[in-house]
Amino acid sequence: MPNLNAAFSALSDPTRRAILARLATGEATVLELAAPFAITQPAISRHLKVLEGAGLIVRRIDGTRRPCRLAKGGIEAIYQWLATLRDALSRNYDRLDEVLAAMNREKERNGHE
């Protein structure tokens, strides 16, 4: 399981988000990942290290290649966490619906007096 702080911190960088988006379409090597970016391979490798440390990607050894892919557990943990927060926020606003409805009823009552 990834550390959520490390995971969100890793996601705060646009290059790393682009790398994850690319990996969502399938496994890739550093060389393939570096191709679309105007940055060096060592820089991409550093980003991969951050993503790996955050539990968002895993790498395997295949001869001299070290292809990367998304770490299913890490990505799912983030979505699960966001869903939990989303529920808490939704409950706030569902309660606000009730408060607004009560305000409206009161207004109508006062208007009819």
Q: Is 93 in the site for another protein (CB under 8 A)?
A: yes
Token readout for 26 is 């399938």
CA gap 67, 26 in Å, rounded: 10
Q: Is 58 in the site for another protein (CB under 8 A)?
A: no
13: amino acid identity, one letter: D
Q: Is 75 in the site for another protein (CB under 8 A)?
A: yes
Q: Is 91 in the site for another protein (CB under 8 A)?
A: yes
Q: Is 28 in the site for another protein (CB under 8 A)?
A: no
> Among residues 21 and 61, whose Cβ is nearest to another protein?
21
Q: How many CB atoms lie within 10 A of CB 28?
A: 16
> Among residues 44 and 77, whose Cβ is nearest to another protein?
77
Give me Rg for the CA atoms of the chain. Answer: 23
CA gap 29, 64 in Å, rounded: 11
Give me the torsion for CA of 4, 17, 75, 67, rounded to 10°.
-120
> Among residues 17 and 49, whose Cβ is nearest to another protein?
17
Positions in the binding site for another protein (CB under 8 A): 4-5, 7-9, 11-14, 17-18, 20-21, 24, 75, 78, 81-86, 88-93, 95-101, 103-104
